[in-house]
Amino acid sequence: MTKKSLALALLVLGALVTLAPQAAPAAAQAEVSSRKDIHVAPGETQDKIFSLGGHVLIEGKVREDVMVIGGTITISGEAGQSVVGIGSRILVKSTAVIGEDLAALGGTLEKEPGCTIGGDTIYFQTRELGDKLFGEGDGLFQGLFSFSLIPIIVVIKLVIIFLWLIAAVMGAAIFPKPIAFAAGEIRKSFWPALGTGIVAIIVFTMLVIMAALLSFILIGIPIALALGVAGFIIKAFGRLAVFYFLGEGLLRALGSKRIAVMGAVLLGLFVFSLATFVPVLGFLFGFVMNALGWGIAIRTKFGSRENWFQKKPAC
């Protein structure tokens, strides 16, 4: 397998994950499930399929992509675009027709003679995938990471996700309206918020460096502590607004009309966490969402509709 093939697979995965909130219009016949079997019977048609840990059986037709993380994919019918399995058991029957690529990252892949695949077939077993990404010689990210560090990195990521889960539950319960308001402003001013966030992060980093230099004298210590508290508050609120933005977008795409803040925030946390596990693309996605969170927290003044700097008229 070539680096080009691996990069193509990661690009497909990254695009599907990062664009999940806009994956389907409200009227689309999209099937999204978690640990639930999906069966497209002969003569039936679905627009697209996304499953987490479920068993997907396609005997009819799927117009667009099929993506499964864990679980199984058995296809004897037709998929109009790509079929992607992450750690899945994939069986492609002889009557199957796949319009574009077939990608299996981890798991197993079995193709019967006679099946039709319009694009590339990309298959990496778990060990081979690790070698291609982090192995010596021609590893795609050779010198950047050591494969032996991957379990440690995964554990650290899971701990961070758990901490954000606690913060998400507490924040959504205590500040539901400010979070929802700030998330709504993301749609109205996405690029201004992103620009504000990038500038804010740069300024904050410079202030932290200055405070670190001043720490050699006593005045720098309280400044550093104050910056740490301020940075934590801005990042926490902004991240919860981004979680709501992602979760609400996905729920609306699936046709939900009444959306609870808690449910949207937790779903957004799941989408965000899943995206960050994608090499390179996940890092870029996380950076953009982090900057967006900083920007929207500052621009909306933590979800407040009032202008903190405008003097109220005297009564």
DSSP-derived 3-state class of residue 88 = coil
- CA 71, CA 55: separation in Å to the nearest integer? 5
Both tokens of residue 161? 């996700």
Q: Domain spans of the chain?
A: 3-134, 147-299
* pLDDT per position as a tens digit, 4-57: 444 444 444 444 443 343 333 333 445 555 456 889 999 999 988 888 778 899
Chain centroid, CA 239 distance in Å = 13
Residues 150-193: tens digit of each pLDDT: 667 777 888 888 999 999 999 999 999 999 999 999 988 899 99
The yes-or-no verdict on residue 297 having pLDDT over 80 is yes
pLDDT tens digits, one per residue of 188-228: 889 999 999 999 999 999 998 888 887 776 676 788 888 89
Structure-token match 């109009």, residue found: 80
Which string of b and e fits 143-177 if b means at least 16 CB within 10 Å? eeeeeeeeeeeeeeeeeebeebeebbeebbeebbe
